């Protein structure tokens, strides 16, 4: 999140204040938002394709992306990297001091590294045999558990407490196993839409509006 914000902030700071570069600022912010949404799409899978296409064509309707670029993004085998390449192309179009250009490019490079880290997490799940082993162990353990509880709960009438005790232990143990499975691949339960729409896209747009309004130009 912070690196995406940094790209937009640096763009606002280093791009010259003229009509052409103001348009490039908006385009960079839009492509940054497209990148994070493409990354969300990669992590969510094909079920998110329709949402991503709709979001890209929102940018097309706003004049911040061409229809051809939106279509090529959807056709790309690695959509996040395609969006990062688009950000680099927008950076090259700006007339910047080489040092400023290098700083923004460094921020984009960090996004490349973070994309790779997400890909490694997503594509390196815990082996299925491990998950099956823990499930089978729990099943056999819980099947035999009443034998251990029977004598320990003998003071209850007809050992009736064995049943609720077995149920509670099974509930918590299977719950722990389910938590482990979710941690193995957390992207399906994380609020990625909130990250994309609120924490990044909306914040980037807010920064652009603040710079455009000239509120930072007045001296105290």
Per-range mean pLDDT, top range of 67-81, 139-153, 204-218: 67-81
> CA torsion, points 9, 10, 15, 21, in degrees to nearest 10?
-50
* pLDDT tier at 91, thresholds 50, 70, 90: very high
With pLDDT > 90 as the criterion, what percentage of the chain qualifies?
Answer: 24
The Cα 205–Cα 109 span in angstroms is 22
CB atoms under 10 Å from CB of 201, counted, come to 22
The Cα 55–Cα 78 span in angstroms is 17
pLDDT of residue 126: 72
Question: Which of 50-64, 111-125, 186-200 is the least confident region?
Answer: 186-200
pLDDT of residue 216: 45
Question: Which of 52-56, 69-73, 107-111, 115-119 is the least confident region?
Answer: 115-119
Q: Between the CA of residue 108 and those of 67, 81, 90, 103, 206, what are the distances in Å?
A: 23, 10, 12, 9, 20
- Residue 47 is encoded by which pair of tokens? 């079920």
pLDDT in tens, 164-217: 888 899 899 888 888 877 777 666 666 666 666 665 555 556 655 655 555 445
> Which of 138, 163, 139, 144 has its CA nearest to residue 153?
163
39 vs 131, more confident:
39
Count of residues in the chain: 220
Confidence check: pLDDT of 53 > 50: yes
- Is the separation of the CB atoms in 7 and 107 below 8 Å? yes
User: Average per-residue pLDDT in the chain?
Assistant: 82
Confidence check: pLDDT of 20 > 70: yes
The Cα 114–Cα 36 span in angstroms is 11
Q: Between the CA of residue 163 and those of 116, 140, 143, 145, 192, what are the distances in Å?
A: 49, 16, 12, 10, 41
* pLDDT tier at 70, thresholds 50, 70, 90: very high
- Is the separation of the CB atoms in 3 and 111 below 8 Å? yes
| CA 20 to chain CA mean position, Å | 31
């Amino acid at each position: 999140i912070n690196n995406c914000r940094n790209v937009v902030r640096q763009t606002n700071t280093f791009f010259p204040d003229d009509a052409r570069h103001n348009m490039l600022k908006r385009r960079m912010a839009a492509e940054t938002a497209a990148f994070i949404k493409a990354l969300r799409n990669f992590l969510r899978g094909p079920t998110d394709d329709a949402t991503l296409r709709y979001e890209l064509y929102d940018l097309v309707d706003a004049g911040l992306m061409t229809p051809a670029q939106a279509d090529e993004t959807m056709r790309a085998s690695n959509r996040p990297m395609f969006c990062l390449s688009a950000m680099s192309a927008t950076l090259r179009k700006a007339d910047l001091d080489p040092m400023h250009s290098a700083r923004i490019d460094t921020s984009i490079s960090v996004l490349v590294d973070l994309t790779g880290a997400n890909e490694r997490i997503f594509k390196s799940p815990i082996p299925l045999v491990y998950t099956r082993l823990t499930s089978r162990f729990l099943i056999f353990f819980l099947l035999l558990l009443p034998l251990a509880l029977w004598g320990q709960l003998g003071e209850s009438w007809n050992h009736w407490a064995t049943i609720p005790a077995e149920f509670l232990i099974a509930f918590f143990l299977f719950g722990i196993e389910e938590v482990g499975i979710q941690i193995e691949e957390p992207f399906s339960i994380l609020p990625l839409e909130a990250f994309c729409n609120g924490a990044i896209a909306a914040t980037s747009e807010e920064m652009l509006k603040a710079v455009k309004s000239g509120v930072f130009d007045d001296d105290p």
